[in-house]
Amino acid sequence: MKKIERREFIKNMSIATVGTAIYPVFPNLSREKAIEPAPKSRVAIVRDPKAATNKGQTINPDIVHKMMNTGIKSLTGQKNVADAYASLFPKHEKNDIIAIKVNCMQTHPLAESCRKIIDSIVNGLKSAGVAENNIILYDWRTEDLTSCGYTHNTDSRGVRCFGNDEKGWGYEEAAVTPGGASVHLSKILTRCTHLVNIPVLRDHHTVGVSLSLKNHYGSVDSPVSLHGPNFKCEPHLAELNTLDPIRKKTRLIVLPALVGVYQGHHSPPQFEYNGLIASQDPVAVDYHGYKMIDEQRIKHDLRPLAKTGRYPTYIETSAKLGLGTNDPNKMDIISIGV
């Protein structure tokens, strides 16, 4: 067999020396090894019309819990909740810290729906063997968390919950420069092993929408520095999310979409979507959140964001930087109850 292969090799090389005859040989070899398409970003969208009523004033925790469990199983393809969460943290070790970044900065009216989903996530992590005290809920300041109904906890028991301003934590001394601005990363972010991102569903007065990628403005000491001279957050927002402590540690993004805001991002909930979006792709999550908000704006006789000068260009920038996709054709979308 080896002699045959050698003769064929010599024959092909002889042909190659005669001019352009080499070209039909190697293209045939390349066609035998077809390039596999890149895997699609998996996105689970779960809805239940009974989850929230009265624009979020009444939330059914049992339904929300069921939605979250359904979403995590659909996202991971696992049959039970414990295995679903465990599959997101395949290299998790006993002392690993899971940080959950919430958004409590001027989002008080939306906090209740987020807390219900976080309760479910914490229960899921515990079922997968994660110790409660190895879970940290965090945001920019402890005051922001407590004002949204979270319980400040730095004890050695229970889920810990505090802001970047907590004594003994704070920010890294070395600065990072996304978009050319100088900021310092939260030590909660840099010291954790895994990261879960829980944003809110709302518009933003300059960027268009404030969702999962912008949620990490609460992971730096000076969020205002990352808005840029025209307050479009370009390219600061996308570049922040390319940093290793965010990009390499993020295991799950869940957008609580029980209620949302389509105009005036400090406003109380303005619509019920009664859903949640779960993915490991922050760009895909923000794309769907942006589409939801635009749909509601049109429904309520408002111009789409692109017509107001507030089109969220950062989503496209983030896709170009390889943080995920904003192309539905490159998403594996699983819709449940829609």
Q: What percent of the chain has pLDDT over 90?
A: 79
Mean predicted lDDT score pLDDT of the chain: 89
| Predicted confidence (pLDDT) at residue 106 exceeds the cutoff of 70 | no
Q: Supply the pLDDT for residue 26.
A: 34
Per-residue pLDDT tens over the stretch 134-153: 999 999 999 999 999 999 99
What is the rounded (10 degree) CA torsion for 312, 292, 105, 258? -170
- 38 pLDDT tier (thresholds 50, 70, 90): confident
Instruction: Name 246's Cβ contacts closer than 8 Å, sequence gap at least 6.
Output: 189, 195, 216, 219, 240
- 111 pLDDT tier (thresholds 50, 70, 90): confident
Better pLDDT: 20 or 73: 73
Q: What percent of the chain has pLDDT over 70?
A: 88
- For the record, the structure tokens of 60 come out as 């059914």
Per-residue pLDDT tens over the stretch 213-266: 999 999 999 999 999 988 999 999 999 999 999 999 999 999 999 999 999 888
Q: Supply the pLDDT for residue 9.
A: 37
- Per-residue pLDDT averaged across 78-84, rounded? 97
Q: Supply the pLDDT for residue 1.
A: 39
- 100 pLDDT tier (thresholds 50, 70, 90): very high
Strand partners, 137: 100, 161
In single-letter form, the type of residue at position 230 comes to N
- 12 pLDDT tier (thresholds 50, 70, 90): very low
Distance, in Å, from the CA atom of 304 to the CA atom of 297, rounded to the nearest integer, reads 6
H/E run at residue 204: strand 202-204
Per-residue pLDDT tens over the stretch 265-316: 888 899 999 999 999 999 999 999 999 999 999 999 999 999 999 999 999 9
Please give the full DSSP string across 76-96, using - where no structure is assigned.
Answer: HT-SSHHHHHHHH-TT--TT-
Q: Supply the pLDDT for residue 109.
A: 66
Strand partners, 67: none
